[in-house]
Chains A and B, each alone.
Chain A
Amino acid sequence: MENIVIIKYNAGNIGSVANALKRLDVNYKISADPDVIGKADKVIFPGVGEASSTMKNLRERGLDVLIPRLRQPVLGICLGMQLMCAWSEEGDTRGLGIFKERVYKFRINEKVPHMGWNTLMPSTDPLLTDLPEQAWFYFVHSFYAESGESTVASCEYGISFGAYLKKDNFYGVQFHPEKSGKTGSKFIQNFIAL
């Protein structure tokens, strides 16, 4: 049985991620204990909230040092992904620097937040296998990761931005797979099956 750990800190969507894993009959723990996180097969780094205060919260728990050192697959979701980048304009926040990309506020003619279902630019990737050709995911955010070398799949909303980033064992998604219906469940299953 896979040993999945959701990193526990003041993120808003921990419960939603836990519920998504429950629906998939996956065993998981929610923990901030470096030993427990270190021993996990897979780690999920959720996040909903404001960047600078969340980063401060991570530092207080020593998670800013722990997360970049992890060797097993790590999936950052929404703000979790943004904090894995180098910097965020939100609160002028230095991130974990796993991805070199920077995070900016939307300055577009569309409505902000970018809220609702959108598609990814087609990509072949292990986490996107067995998904419909036009796979819809649920987004809700006002800041975005610029497209860059870590971008696996991008999304269009006034501008093309990094919707799914990857580097070595680190995966980061702007969308919420835990709220993206069957497509999102399949994405999480693919991550667990890595």
Chain B
Amino acid sequence: MLAKRIIPCLDIREGRTVKGVNFVGIRDAGDPIELACRYVEEGADELVFLDITASHEGRKTRVDLVKLIAKEINIPFTIGGGINDYRDAELLLAAGADKICINSAAVKNPVLINQLVNAYGSQFVVLAIDASASGNDWQVYIHGGRIKHTKNLFEWALEGQDRGCGEILFTSMNHDGTKGGYVCDTLRKLSDLLHIPIIASGGAGTMDHFLEVFKWGKSDAALAASVFHYGEIPIPQLKLFLRKNNVSVRI
């Protein structure tokens, strides 16, 4: 049976992890490779690296980092953040990225999804959507949540699927960082609406939240950052808990 995926997310700036990491046995908390290897060892099913480097030299740093990751890591990984055009994505593929995650660039130029899918296949393209709710209306935001866009979450997710993206990574801005749980009702609606896998993001705080997002939220994968970085939820423990509650996980 296909396993539900647990995906730690690492924020990177200038080739270093940004968020503080509190891990016993990690020599250099800022070294993304060491942290990534640790997660692989613990049983992470995939890794997402979000590169928030803003500088002009960002592109080269990112490509060099992806080359290093590809050498060391023997599970699939996604690189996202700052991918503005076809050329950016192409360089990352050549460097060894299994998937790229596009957000603002796809909102501004949706054809980019088709171009990347036609060239490299659906499996390469993850459409990341940041959205915030006012009432029942989920509005899409771009540029790291700073700018509100006219697009609606469900319409945009459907359009992304029609254009061929392989997965949707949906972050609820209302839940991100709260540790109050994933937005399961909305994730469930999204999962029923689409026929491609959904990665849930935003709100993980306890092991029960993961159980809820898989059972009630119908998500295919759950992404989280701080609960893993600070060792609040060790991945092996999380997976045992999920298995005990009849969620298919890879152990």
Contact = CB atoms under 8 A, between A and B. Distances in A.
Interface of A: 12, 15-16, 19-20, 22-23, 48-50, 110-119, 136, 138-142, 156-157, 176, 178-182, 184-185
Contacts of B2: 110, 114, 116-118, 139, 157
Interface residues of B, number: 31
Interface of B: 1-5, 40, 45, 70-72, 74-76, 93-94, 96, 98, 120-124, 166-167, 194-197, 220-221, 250
B121 A12 contact: yes
A116 B5 contact: yes
Given A111-B220, A112-B195, A19 B70 contact: yes
A117 B197 CA distance: 13
Contacts of B72: 23
Contacts of B71: 19, 22-23
B123 A181 contact: no
A14 to B, nearest CB: 10
Given A115-B167, A117-B250, A142-B122, A179 B98 contact: yes
- Please classify the interface of chain A as helix (H, G, I), strand (E, B), loop, or mixed, using the class held by over half of its residues: mixed
B166 A115 contact: yes
- Please classify the interface of chain B as helix (H, G, I), strand (E, B), loop, or mixed, using the class held by over half of its residues: loop
A110 B196 CA distance: 9
B122 A182 contact: no
12 contacts: A110-B2, A111-B220, A116-B220, A117-B45, A119-B1, A140-B76, A140-B166, A157-B2, A180-B75, A181-B40, A181-B74, A185-B74
Contacts of A118: 1-3
B222 to A, nearest CB: 12
A16 B98 contact: yes
Contacts of B74: 20, 23, 178-182, 184-185
B250 A19 contact: no
A161 to B, nearest CB: 13
Given A12-B93, A140-B123, A116 B3 contact: yes
A19 to B, nearest CB: 6
A16 B122 contact: no
Given A116-B45, A119-B1, A15 B197 contact: no
B167 to A, nearest CB: 7
A157 B3 CA distance: 11
Nearest to B167: A115
A65 to B, nearest CB: 26
A117 B195 contact: no
Nearest to A155: B2
A111 B121 contact: no
A20 B75 CA distance: 10
Given A12-B120, A112-B196, A138-B76, A117 B3 contact: yes
The 3 A-B residue pairs whose C-beta atoms are closest, nearest first, are: A136-B250, A117-B3, A117-B250
B207 to A, nearest CB: 20
A49 B76 contact: no
B76 to A, nearest CB: 5
Contacts of B120: 12, 49
